[in-house]
Chain A
Amino acid sequence: MSVSIQIKDVVKRFGDLTVIPDLSIDVQDGEFFTLLGPSGCGKTTLLRMIAGFNSIEGGTISFNGQVINDMDPGKRNIGMVFQNYAIFPNMSVRKNVEFGLRYKKEKPSKEEAAKLTDEYLKLVHVDQYADRMPDRLSGGQQQRVALARALVIHPQVLLMDEPLSNLDAKLRVEMRTVIREIQRKVGITTIYVTHDQEEAMVISDRIAVMKDGVINHCGKSKSIYQRPANLFVASFIGKTNILGAQLVVDDGACWIKTKDGYRCRIDSVRDEEVADRPITISVRPEEFRIHRAEDTDEGMLGTVHSSVFLGLNTNYFVDLDSGETVQITLESEVNEIIPDGTKVRLTLNTSKVNVFDPTTFLSLMQGVENSVETPQTDADREV
């Protein structure tokens, strides 16, 4: 039995400091919903408000329409998984998982409790360690126990606070698949907090990108990556190059004109935004095409500064003649890597490039899918 969650106009203050000014979002029943953002953006704070460990200074949080603002954490029927696992070090794995069953409204009998515990220990594949003490488990195993402990009480909501950030890289990749599979199997509404954008994209049905207590963009991974709602989202999700440019209307078509005069046609800007105006463009490293300067007259002129061979791809750092520096990712070829100091021309894959207003930083593109309203200005541009 899981629920939908309605968060309406919530405010969080610590003393004089407002961490979340006014936040609203709805989470669907059974959805895997991720709060993503840099540290200090308020994502954990919001999660802890839902859990009941942080007070709510304004607005409401409801489960299935029932307001839970003043309910004790234990009464909310949530399962929580903590960043440091929070396994009780004084109890065996089995005792840890059993812990919550004792405090359920309809307390299961001893046999039922043991059966449930076994079932969930099996689900997360730690049944063979049931009688071990936690200090003899690896980080990944501890996290599995934490997951079983949270799920065994059949919560309405599963809350996970950066559950993988203490694991090593390989285990992190493995565990995120485990978590996703188990969530699907149990079908429980899940709110997941992370600062790792790749993890968020792999695991989530929907992602909310947060900054300074405000959701900047909420949508599916693909739309957030390809059509970010503003410049912050564009630069936080994946790697991107930010360039100054002009939007030019000519011959009834819309053109991007870069600082050194290179022009390329773009058709995906929203009609009402098409005008002669300064813009900021975001070009992901794979959205450039690179040509030797002697081969073509089209494109931004630059010089290869350095390159890094990464196996599948090769990264080039190019100093543009306009003074900007960009990073370009190309699939590695068997041929020689372009040597440092080579003169090159760069052209854009305009079907993928994103265009933003240089003052509000909002996207001017068609096809931005966003279930929240993105804030207008973004005073400090962290790119």
Chain B
Amino acid sequence: MARAATASRKPFEIWTIVSIAIFALLAFFLVYPLWCLLKESVVLNGKFSLDAFQRFFSQSVYWGSIINSIKVGLCVMVLSIIIGVPFSYFYTFYTLKGRKFLFIICLLCTMSAPFIGAYAWILLLGNSGVITNVLRLLGLHRLSIYGFGGIVFVETMKFFPLIVIYMNGAFLDIDDTLLEAAESMGCTGAERFRRVLMSLTMPTMLAGALLVFMRSFDDFGTPVLIGRGYSTFPVLIYNQYLGENGADYHFAAAISVIAVCITAIIFLLQKFATSRFKFTINALHPVSPQKPKAAQGFLMNLFCYLVLAVAFLPQVYIIFMSFRNYNNSIMRPGYSLINWQRAMQMKLPLATRNTLIVSFAALAIILVVAVLLSYVVVRRSNFFNNLVDTISMMPYVMPGAVIGIALITAFSREPIVLTGSLGIMIIALAIRRMPFTSRSATATMMSIPVSTEEAGLSLGAPKLATFIRVTVPQMMNGIVSGAVLSFVSIITEMSSGVILYNNRTITLTIGTYTSISSGVYGVAAVFATVTTIFTIICLLVYLHFAGTENVRM
């Protein structure tokens, strides 16, 4: 009732203008490029043609890539749940050693640049990797990081902390008395875990699972570095787009359309699965961690630390390797700053500058749009505003490569040429991260009682003044923590950037990638290290604003 009640009688007020402005922005930078993409995929030489789709489904090289991507995505999703759920359970319900430390490392893992993991694992487990060499001495020759298994391993190690963070939130939402009630009815141990804990946290787990699948489906860095012929969708699209035989926009567009269809189906499946678990819980007495028995506790600590050590190893190793002497791809004995010197010559300053410009600009756009959008969606709920909200959510199911291709098809021709500018990178990143920030802004907005705004209005303050002085400050906490996480994702963004960049608009992650592909491994480690330093700074800022306990993504 309160919501309907605040709906204004006057058709034109400041918020109507805001909705229309957001709609216009989304229409121009999101809907129009997608329309161009769709058109590109079905129009050949000015005529309607499904030839690209035919080509795609007639050659197993092509459709096989999509199947590969789905296979990898599902495996990573399942494995992440298998590792992440027990991890989070141990973390929430028992007092592990160094809880805070565990959590920070967990966050750092999710924040690492996309293929730092892949690259480090090559150095560790690749053909001439450190561990490989050790294993060879032990007589083990078959173990290899390349191919399907490697991709799944690396991505799982990178994405399972996402499940941990999601599940921590869900477990903390469970009221302790529910567990006590179950126990009093004789439902204990594994039975209680399955029937009470798992069913109560199912919606969150499905949301986390979807996110992991999307991230994996979208991941360009890992398969391109260690796929070795195991082609996945982002790699395929990249190759079509920047292939040796010249760019094939038409075919790349068709692949993009197919990819979006698949992610949309997965998204709908997840929605359907979640709709079967619709309930709200509100914990008055959140669970407090208990001290485990000695043996149990040892095993839990062992599990958590071991898994995290493996997941975090690449980042530490990369920093270490940035000081190692290299001659292009050949490792030399000794340590020095030589890689850093070479990186300085090879656009490290430019890449850092670009990264910061792009990140801050994109973040500013996202914040302003998300905050305004969340306000009109929650406080002026009507058909038009809900439509705008739905449009803003579309990028959630769109792989970065698709957004990259769509922007290029839309903005590479007269009258609007944005390709090759930092502007197009900013737009791509703003679009990519919009759904996440706008979700958290909407959730925050919903938790703000409408009465404080009404108090402001009844005290005579104009609408905009009330919004800025009363509403926005109350949103700050929720927004800032979400914004820092978005900022990290933007810094470490790869898949859309790799399609949009050029020599002048190179960023840190792309710098890492180009250094690896041109074989200067030491320099790549430097680029990766700088990226990691930025993520650590962001994490510190984040922890300053949000307590470690209530991290929600």
Contact = CB atoms under 8 A, between A and B. Distances in A.
Where chain B touches its partner, the secondary structure class is helix
Contacts of A54: 5
A153 B455 CA distance: 12
A305 interface: no
Most B Cβ at <10 Å: residue of A84, A87, A88, A146: A88
Contacts of A77: 460
Nearest to A52: B458
A52 B456 CA distance: 13
B452 A104 contact: no
A14 B457 contact: no
B9 interface: yes
B523 to A, nearest CB: 47
A74 B455 contact: no
A284 B6 CA distance: 42
Given A74-B462, A100-B459, A55 B454 contact: no
B459 A99 contact: yes
Contacts of B7: 55
B454 A153 contact: no
Contact of B460 (A14, A86, A88, A100): A100
Contact of A74 (B4, B5, B6, B460): B460
A86 B451 contact: yes
Interface in B462-476: 462, 465, 469-470, 473-474, 476
A89 B9 CA distance: 28
B1 interface: yes
B461 interface: yes
A382 B306 CA distance: 66
B289 interface: no
A14 B451 contact: no
B449 interface: yes
A73 B4 contact: no
Most A Cβ at <10 Å: residue of B455, B459, B470, B473: B459
A73 B457 contact: yes
A70 B457 CA distance: 15
A263 interface: no
Interface string A61-92: 00000000010111111111011101111100
Contacts of B458: 51-53, 73-74, 76, 78-80
B454 A80 contact: yes
A206 interface: no
A88 B5 contact: no
Contacts of A103: 459-462, 465
A150 B470 CA distance: 16
A380 B468 CA distance: 48
A82 B462 contact: no
A74 B461 CA distance: 6
A102 B470 CA distance: 14
B451 A88 contact: no
Contacts of B461: 74, 99-100, 102-103
A149 interface: yes
Contacts of A76: 458
A48 interface: yes
A53 B459 contact: no
Nearest to B9: A55
A138 to B, nearest CB: 18
Contact of A84 (B451, B460, B462): B451
Most A Cβ at <10 Å: residue of B9, B452, B456, B458: B458
B334 to A, nearest CB: 56
B493 to A, nearest CB: 33
Given A100-B460, A103-B461, A103-B462, A83 B9 contact: no
Given A99-B461, A100-B459, A86 B449 contact: yes
- Interface band, chain A: 35 or more
Contacts of A79: 458-459
A73 B451 CA distance: 13
Given A74-B462, A104-B460, A14 B455 contact: no
Contacts of B452: 86-89
Contacts of B470: 88, 90
Nearest to B465: A103
A78 B460 CA distance: 9
Contacts of A86: 449, 451-452, 454-455
A67 to B, nearest CB: 14
B449 A90 contact: no
A80 B455 contact: yes
Contacts of B462: 74, 103
A103 B451 CA distance: 18
A51 B476 CA distance: 28
Interface string A252-273: 0000000000000000000000
Interface in B435-461: 449, 451-452, 454-461
A346 B2 CA distance: 49
Contacts of B465: 103
A90 B470 CA distance: 7
A55 to B, nearest CB: 5
Interface string A12-39: 0011000000000000000000000000
A55 B7 CA distance: 8
A73 B476 CA distance: 26
Most A Cβ at <10 Å: residue of B6, B449, B457: B457
Contact of A70 (B4, B9, B456, B469): B9
A99 B456 contact: yes
Contacts of A74: 457-462
A14 B454 contact: no
Contact of A14 (B1, B473, B474): B1
B468 to A, nearest CB: 11
A80 B458 CA distance: 7
A90 B474 CA distance: 7
Given A103-B461, A104-B460, A53 B454 contact: yes
B451 A83 contact: yes
A74 B463 CA distance: 9
A14 B4 contact: yes
Interface string A91-110: 00000000110111000000
B459 A48 contact: no
A53 B460 contact: no
Contacts of A73: 454, 457-458
Nearest to A90: B473
Contact of A53 (B6, B469, B476): B6
B459 A153 contact: yes
Contact of A48 (B5, B449, B460, B469): B5
Interface string B1-21: 100111101000000000000
Interface in A97-150: 99-100, 102-104, 146, 149-150
Nearest to B473: A90
Contacts of A72: 457
A292 B320 CA distance: 98
Contacts of B449: 84, 86
Nearest to A70: B9
Contacts of B469: 88, 99
Given A53-B5, A73-B454, A88-B452, 14 more contacts: A14-B1, A14-B5, A51-B454, A54-B5, A76-B458, A77-B460, A79-B458, A79-B459, A83-B451, A86-B449, A99-B461, A99-B469, A103-B462, A150-B459
Interface of A: 14-15, 45, 48, 51-55, 70, 72-80, 82-84, 86-90, 99-100, 102-104, 146, 149-150, 153
9 contacts: A53-B6, A55-B7, A74-B457, A74-B460, A79-B459, A83-B451, A89-B452, A102-B461, A149-B455
Interface of B: 1, 4-7, 9, 449, 451-452, 454-462, 465, 469-470, 473-474, 476
